[in-house]
Amino acid sequence: MTGGAGFDCYFMALAVIEGAVLTTDDEKMALHSRKMGIEALLLRETEKEELQSMLTAGA
């Protein structure tokens, strides 16, 4: 259903339950998450400054 690996589905479900952004460096997991409507942040596509800003904004 999700297209993701079994273990990835746990992280995807947790993101949904917690209303969190799924943060990963796994391209396939990010792709499958986005297809399911889950907001996913792919670390390799994120600038260091943007990531720092996101982390401090939630503190």
Question: What pLDDT was estimated at residue 19?
Answer: 95
3-state helix, strand, coil in the chain (%, to 5): 60, 10, 30
Spatial separation of the C-alpha atoms in residues 41 and 34, rounded to whole Å: 9
- Which amino acid is located at 45 in the chain? E
Separation between Cα atoms, residue 45 and residue 27, nearest integer Å: 10
Token pair 């600038």 is at which residue?
47
Contact 42, 24 (CB under 8 A): yes
Per-residue model confidence (pLDDT) at position 38: 95
Examine the pLDDT at 59 and tell me if it is beyond 80: no
pTM of the predicted structure, to 2 decimals: 0.76
pLDDT digits (tens, 9 = 90+) for 2-58: 566 788 889 999 999 999 999 999 999 999 999 999 999 999 999 999 888 888 886
